[in-house]
Amino acid sequence: MKKILIVDDHAPVLRVLKLGIEEAGYDVDTASNGSECLVKLCAGEPDFLVTDIDMPRMGGRELCEAIKEQFPERAFPIVVLTSRTEMEHRDWTRNIDNLTFMEKPVSVRRLLSHIGKSLDEPSLGAA
């Protein structure tokens, strides 16, 4: 079973995403900020990471930069969820492989489709 790690500081968002992704057959773990996510990454790499960009303690941008630095051989795709559409909020991603922005609000169905395509599981992505 593929493991998805979701990082968001809003508990209702975590619950909705976790439930929807679990219902599609994935194993889901959660973290409430980037610092907590890094601790979980030290314990094992997920198959896919979904992170909010604006969070206390360590936001999504800082998390992605820390992952690039601390886990240079990482193989998992990352989706960054954001309500910010300005290009300057995306320029920093140019040096981070396999990273996709998705604008909030994002439907679980759309996110699952992207996860399925990224993990070569089109049947799950169609859920």
Q: DSSP secondary structure string, 53-91?
A: S--SSS-HHHHHHHHHHH-TT----EEEEES---GGGTG
Name all domains of the chain by residue range, CATH numbers in brackets.
3-121 (3.40.50.2300)
Q: What pLDDT does 45 receive?
A: 92
Distance of alpha carbon 10 from alpha carbon 92, whole angstroms: 24
> Please, what are the averages of pLDDT over each run of 10 residues along the chain (127 residues)?
96 96 97 97 96 92 93 91 72 78 91 94 51
What is each CA distance from 101 to 1, 79, 121, in whole angstroms?
A: 25, 6, 20
Q: What pLDDT does 75 receive?
A: 86
The residues that bridge with 31 in the sheet, in sequence order, are 7
Q: What pLDDT does 122 receive?
A: 59
Rounded to two decimals, the pTM is: 0.90
Nearest to 112 by CA among 8, 28, 39: 28
Q: What pLDDT does 82 receive?
A: 84
Q: Residue 77 is which amino acid? A: P
